[in-house]
Every structure is written in structure tokens, then in C-alpha cells.
Structure 1
Amino acid sequence: MELLTVASAAQRLGVTTRRVQHLVASGQLRMLARGVVDETSVERYLASRGDFRGRPWLEPTAWGAVALLSGRDAAWMGESQRSRLRGKLRTLGARELAGRARGRAVVSRYTGHTSTAGRLRGQVVDTSAAAEALGLTATAAVDGYVAAGELDALVARHGLVRTDAGPFTLRATGMPLDVVTDLAHSATVLAALDLAESLDIRERSAGIDALTGALERFRA
């Protein structure tokens, strides 16, 4: 585990130290001790930001983008909101989309016993099947969505330990899980967004390529 001072993290991200503190408070960066940030969390934040340097979409809008690109209607948004979002999606590249859509969930990573993976995968909305459809091989890692209000109980139940290099990625969201499940199973857009945030070059490339294809189809 590599460590960065808050000032060094701010320099790496090209932001102020106050912004780093805000990112820590919102869970987007992890502070290990007073004034010390986990470098891996900084690298993951940079990957999730893509080419977009502004603030991400709010959660309903981010999920609306996933829905529209997946051929769903985003019923939780008003018609004028959907119309504006459709127009915006027609102008975006894949990397900017990945950065804007990161507000769909708060991402945390954990480690735990190797036997935990199977049980945990059955208690989250797992996107690994869609990732495999994008040409990636199956792994023992878990990457899935969980209701924000259930995250702490899930972590305690499985004895998970927070670490940014862990194999278990939990994405806490306020979107109803039945909606998330439908989007995860109806298209590869959600899995592609997850992959686009990966530190693994092959995974990130697969995600960006899939998002590029989804945007091209949407504009057609």
C-alpha cells in the first residue's frame, strides 16, 4: 500500500487540498490516517473520472443515462429531463460518459475469506456475466451493486475488510435494485461503465470500447 500526503494527492489530481478533503468525506478517496491518503484510491478516482473533470451527474441522471443507452425509458425522470439527457448523450465520447456517470454509486473495495466470493455474489447485483460477454474471462473477484442502506450489514455479515486493492467491489446505490438488476441483465452498458473505471488496462479498454459502441448505436 502506497501513501500520499493530502498535498501530494491534490497535486496528482490537479485540485485543491480542500477538494481532496471533500473527496475523502464523500468516500471517493480513502484517508488512512490524519493527512495521509491511500494512493490506490487516488489512482482509482483518476480512472473513474475519465476525460471529464467536472462534477458527475446526480444519481438519477447517471442511472437515466445507463437506461437510455440500454434501450430502457428511465421512467423516474421527467420527459423534459430525458430529452435533455438524450441530446447530451449524442455529444459525448466514452471516456467523458464514464466520468459523468460515476455518480450512479459509491464504490468501496474489500478483502475477505476466499470462500466468501460465492456467497457474496449471490447477494449483490453482479455484473460479471455481462463483463464476460465483452470478452473478459471469469475471475474469483466480485463486482456488484448493493442498496446503500444494506451495505454496512453486508460487510459485517461477511467479515469484509476495507482495502482499495481488495477483490470484492461493492457499489452502493440509492436506485431500486430491481431497476439495477434489469439494466445489468438487459445490456452490457452498466458492466462497461464498471470496467471503464478499472486499473487493469485490458478491462478498461474493453469497457471503453463497449461504451463507444453503445454511444454510436444510440446516435444512429
Structure 2
Amino acid sequence: MTERHFISLDETAAALEVSTRHVRRLVNSGSLTQVTRGVLERDSVDRYLMSQRQGRTRSWAEHTAWGAIAILSDGEADWLGPTQTSRVRRTLRDLVDPSELISRVRDRAHVRTFAAHRAAIPRLRAIVLHPNMNALGIVDSGEGRIDGYIAAQELDGVIRTLGLRAESSGDITLRVTEFDFDQVGKLVSTSAVVAALDAATALDPRIRGVGQRALAETLEAYR
């Protein structure tokens, strides 16, 4: 790695507009990757910044975020009460900028990135839930790359069993959620909204643009 792949603790705090203590908490939670004391991987910071776009907009709780996705996907969010459903629908009708939606639902899952031995890829691919990126015209980036959802209670076991290594520039992106995984599975497999949200926070600007345009069209159609 060259020097540009690293960023100091203080620089990270300044970029995220948080305290160094908060940065350390993000490292401990796995949101950021520390290379050595006081030095972090820049890719992990970039990914975190992208996932927190428009971070000053208040995010919804995990179950509410998935409810909003269900509503935008012309489904029912049975786990939300009538009052909360009405409130979410009203907010969605008022959204114009896709980045506001991205921010609202950013807590639907916690993003972790890993590297893995090639032999573990097929087993991992069978475990995680993969959004249908083909629906957005995005071609699968390769057999060695995985980007999908996994239940929070399964994560530690999968890491241990398959020998995953935390690495911000790794080819394995796991979106860890504590929400009802049966509901998550239905939405991930059928909703283009999930695929668009994932694409809209990609580091690749082309993929990011595709996702943001798809979200803009979804919001326009919902209004």
C-alpha cells in the first residue's frame, strides 16, 4: 500500500466532523478499520462517509427504514402501526432529493467489509442475500466479489467458520441487520429499491449515479 491509502485519527475525526473518541468507537464497532495505533485505512473512511451521506438528516430506526423500503416497493409494512405508517408515507411524499432517502434509511443495516480465501466464496455466497443489481443494468462485478445482507446473529459464526478478515478494501461487503430476516429476504429478493439504495452508496461513481437516478425515479413515481 502507498501512503495515500492511510489517514490519521485526527484527519478522520475532522473529515467525519466528530471527536477522536467517536472515531475510536467506530473502529471498535467495525465501522472503520485501524491499521495501527492512530492510523486508519482511507477506504474504510470513504465507505463510512458514503453510507452516511447527508448525515445531519435524522435517520429512521431499523424497522422503520425497512418499512419505508416496503412502502416504496408497493408492499405492506405490517410491522409498523397505522400512525407510524401514515407518518412514513407523508415523509416519503415530501422527499425530492435521493440523498435524503439514503440518509433516512441508512440504519437499515451496518456495513462491514472483509477479505476471504477463494474457497470460502461459494459458501458465503450461499448464505448472504443479494439484491438484484441486474434490474438496474449493473452487471455482476465478478465471482470473487460479494455484496449482500446477513442476519446480525449469524455474523460472528460466519466470520469464524469461513475465516473472514476485516479489511476495508476487501471484496466482501456484508450488510448486517437485526431486523426480521424473513422480511429482509422478501424485500432484498423482490425490491429494486434495495438494489438502488446499495448502488447509490457505492464508491464507484458510475454505479453510484445509477442508484441515485433509480431512487429519484422511485420518489417521483411515489409522489
TM-score, normalization by structure 1: 0.91
* One of 137, 151, 173 as aligned partner of 2:139: 137
1:21 is the counterpart of 2:37:
no
Q: What's the offset of the Cα at 1:155?
A: 1.5
For 1:192-203, list aligned pairs within 5 A.
Answer: 192-203=196-207
Pick which of 19-28 and 54-63 moved more: 19-28
4+ runs deviating over 4 angstroms: none
Which residue pairs with 1:59 in the alignment? 62
Which residue pairs with 1:82 in the alignment? 85
Q: Give the aligned CA root-mean-square deviation in angstroms.
A: 1.7
1:125 is the counterpart of 2:129:
yes
In structure 2, do the counterparts of structure 1 residues 55 and 5 end up closer, same or farther at CA, with 3 Å as the change threshold? farther
Query: Which whole-Å CA distance do the structure 2 matches of 1:26 and 1:72 have between them?
Result: 33
Pick which of 117-126 and 199-208 moved more: 117-126
1:40 is the counterpart of 2:43:
yes
Query: Which whole-Å CA distance do the structure 1 matches of 2:94 and 2:26 have between them?
Result: 28
Q: What's the offset of the Cα at 1:25?
A: 4.0
* CA deviation vs aligned residue, 1:121-164 (integer Å, no higher than 9, x gap): 1111111xx11110111222111111101101111221111101
Whether the aligned pair in 1 keeps the contact of 2:129 and 2:189 (CA below 8 Å) is no
* One of 169, 181, 186 as aligned partner of 1:177: 181
For 1:89-128, list aligned pairs within 5 A.
Answer: 89-92=92-95, 93-127=97-131
Which residue pairs with 1:72 in the alignment? 75
Query: Which whole-Å CA distance do the structure 1 matches of 2:21 and 2:89 have between them?
Result: 34
Query: Which whole-Å CA distance do the structure 1 matches of 2:109 and 2:170 have between them?
Result: 18
Whether the aligned pair in 1 keeps the contact of 2:62 and 2:107 (CA below 8 Å) is yes
Query: Which whole-Å CA distance do the structure 1 matches of 2:17 and 2:146 have between them?
Result: 31
1:31 is the counterpart of 2:53:
no
Q: What's the offset of the Cα at 1:83?
A: 0.8
Which residue pairs with 2:159 in the alignment? 155
Query: Which whole-Å CA distance do the structure 2 matches of 1:196 and 1:16 have between them?
Result: 27
Counterpart of 1:94 in structure 2: which amino acid?
Answer: P
1:168 is the counterpart of 2:146:
no
Which residue pairs with 1:208 in the alignment? 212
Counterpart of 2:39 in structure 1: which amino acid?
Answer: V
Q: Which runs of 5+ in 1 are unaligned?
A: none
Q: What's the offset of the Cα at 1:100?
A: 2.0
TM-score, normalization by structure 2: 0.90
1:191 is the counterpart of 2:192:
no
Query: Which whole-Å CA distance do the structure 1 matches of 2:119 and 2:30 have between them?
Result: 27
Counterpart of 2:93 in structure 1: which amino acid?
Answer: R
Counterpart of 2:198 in structure 1: which amino acid?
Answer: D
Instruction: Find the residue that maps to 1:56 and give its secondary structure.
Output: coil
Query: Which whole-Å CA distance do the structure 1 matches of 2:220 and 2:7 have between them?
Result: 39
**Sequence identity of aligned pairs in percent?**
42
Whether the aligned pair in 2 keeps the contact of 1:31 and 1:38 (CA below 8 Å) is yes
Pick which of 30-39 and 138-147 moved more: 30-39
